[in-house]
Structure 1
C-alpha cells in the first residue's frame, strides 16, 4: 500500500546541497513516522549538520524536496519553525546569557505570535493572558527536566548539565510535532546521558524525533530507525540491528582492515 501523509511526519527526497564545488549532501532521502525516534549518524563531515540546517531553513538545497505533515515546505525560514510544529536544539547551547532561565524557555514558546501589537504594547487583553499561560507552560517544562528551581538564574551561572536541560525545556515548551536534537549528549556525564536516553524515549511517544549523535550506545538504545551518512550520501538505513551489521557502516567509521594491512 502506498504511504499516506499520516504514515510520514517528515519526508525528505533527493536533497542535494553544494558549497562551491563540494557536494555536502547528494540525493539524500529519509522519512520519520509520528511517534518514532530516527537517528542520523555518520563520521565527522558526513553532512549531518548540513541536513539539519536544510530542515531548519538555514540552508537552501539546490534540488530535492521536504514534506512535513503532507505539505511540501517551500522557502521556509528558521523563525517559522515553531509555527510549523518543529523545534530543534543546537550543538552549542545557544541560550541567551542576559536572560533568566525562565525567559529563555518562554522564548521557545513563540509568544509574540499569539497576541496583536496593540495588546503587546499595552500588556492588556489576550497578550496578558498569553503571558500568564506561557509562564505556566515554561515552568511546567522546567519541572519536567527537574530544573524549576533555576528559573530566575542566568544560564551562565549554572553547571553545563543543567544548561543542557534548560535548552531541552526550551525546545519542548512549544509542544512540537517534530523535534530535532543536535548532539544532545555532548559534554554530559554517564549518569546524565542515561537520564537523557530515558527522556528521548519519552519524547518519541509524544512526537517524531530526529537525533544527531556521536554516542553510539545512546543512538542504538533509543532509535527505532537509523540513517547513516558518509560523504553526503546515505550508505545505510534501517533498524539499529541492521545498521550495526552493515559492513559499509563499519568501513565508514573504522576504515577497511584489508586496505590498512595492504597499505592501500
Structure 2
C-alpha cells in the first residue's frame, strides 16, 4: 500500500544491535514523518552512532526492522540511500579534498544525472547539457547556504563552518525526502549554530529530518520531537518541553553537561 502524507517516512521498530556480548541498542523505536524534525540525543556511548549506522546501512540489526515509506529495508547500504531519497551528513564531512567545492556538490546530485558521474566529471562523451544542468543546480544549492563564492576552491581552503555548509549543500542538492544530520553543530561558533538552526527549521518545508546532536540549545529550539537514548535504550520520547521536564533525562544527560554546551 502506498504511503500517505501522514505516514512516517522512516520507522524504526524494535531494533536491537549486539556486538559480541555488548548490547549497543535494545528494542529501539522511533519514526520520522514528512515536515518534522526529530532529535536523537543521549550521553556518549548511548548508542546514537550505532543507530545512525543502522539507518545508513552500515550496521545490520540483530532484531527489529527499519522501514522506508512502509516497506522494510533489508540489506541496504550507504550507496543505496540516494536512490531512496535519503541524504546524510557525517561528523567527518567526507568532502573530496582534491575536488573543487562545486564538483563536491555535483557528486550529491548523482541520482539526478542522466549519464555516468565519472563520464560527466571527466568531460568524456556528449554530456555537456546534463553537466550544465547539474552544475546550475549545484550552484543554486551553494547559494542557498551562502558559500557560492567558494565554488572553485578546494574544501581544505575553507573554514570549518563553510565546509559544513558545503556538506549540507551536497546533501540537499538531489532534493531528498529525509535528511540525516550527524552532529552538524560540532565545532561551530554561536553565530554559525544560530544560522544552522534557521536552515534546519526551513528544511521542514520539503523533508523530514533526524538530528543527532550534543548541542542542547539547538536541539530544543529546532526539534518537534526528541528521542533520548541511554545505554542503548530509549528512556524518553516527547516534545522539547516534555524532555526538559523528564527527571530521567535530566539524570542521564541534561544534568551532566552545562546548559548550552556544544561539546562531547
Q: When the two structures are aligned, how many residues end up with a matched partner?
A: 251
Partner of 2:48: 48
Q: Is the Cα contact below 8 Å between 2:15 and 2:62 reproduced in 1?
A: yes
With normalisation by structure 2, the TM-score equals 0.90
Q: Is the Cα contact below 8 Å between 2:82 and 2:111 reproduced in 1?
A: no
Distance 1:144 1:197 in 2: 14
Partner of 1:11: 11
With normalisation by structure 1, the TM-score equals 0.90
Distance 2:169 2:119 in 1: 27
Give the C-alpha shift of residue 114 in structure 1: 3.1
Describe the SS at the equivalent of 2:237: strand
Give the C-alpha shift of residue 5 in structure 1: 7.5
Describe the SS at the equivalent of 1:168: helix
Q: Is the Cα contact below 8 Å between 1:111 and 1:134 reproduced in 2?
A: no
Distance 2:32 2:93 in 1: 25
Describe the SS at the equivalent of 2:79: helix
1:84-163 equivalence runs, <5 A: 84-110=84-110, 114-115=114-115, 122-124=124-126, 127-163=127-163
Describe the SS at the equivalent of 2:175: coil
Q: Is the Cα contact below 8 Å between 2:182 and 2:213 reproduced in 1?
A: yes
Distance 2:244 2:168 in 1: 28
Q: Is the Cα contact below 8 Å between 2:5 and 2:34 reproduced in 1?
A: no
Post-superposition CA distance 1:13-42 (Å, at most 9, x none): 010111111011011010111100000000
Structure of larger gyration radius: 1
Distance 2:170 2:252 in 1: 34
Distance 2:181 2:64 in 1: 22
Describe the SS at the equivalent of 1:25: strand
Give the C-alpha shift of residue 117 in structure 1: 9.3
Partner of 2:260: none
Instruction: Give the ranges of 4+ consecutive aligned residues of structure 1 lying more than 4 Å apart after TM superposition.
Output: 116-122
Distance 1:111 1:86 in 2: 11
Partner of 1:166: 166
Give the C-alpha shift of residue 130 in structure 1: 2.1
Partner of 1:259: none
Distance 2:117 2:92 in 1: 32
Which structure 2 residue ranges, 5 or more long, are not aligned? 257-264
Q: Is the Cα contact below 8 Å between 1:5 and 1:70 reproduced in 2?
A: no
Describe the SS at the equivalent of 1:130: helix
Q: Is the Cα contact below 8 Å between 1:111 and 1:131 reproduced in 2?
A: no
Distance 2:149 2:207 in 1: 27
Give the C-alpha shift of residue 235 in structure 1: 0.4
Which structure 1 residue ranges, 5 or more long, are not aligned? 256-264
Q: Is the Cα contact below 8 Å between 1:105 and 1:166 reproduced in 2?
A: yes
Distance 1:149 1:61, change over 3 A: same
Distance 1:135 1:17 in 2: 41
Partner of 1:232: 232
Describe the SS at the equivalent of 1:205: coil
Question: RMSD in angstroms over aligned alpha carbons?
Answer: 1.9
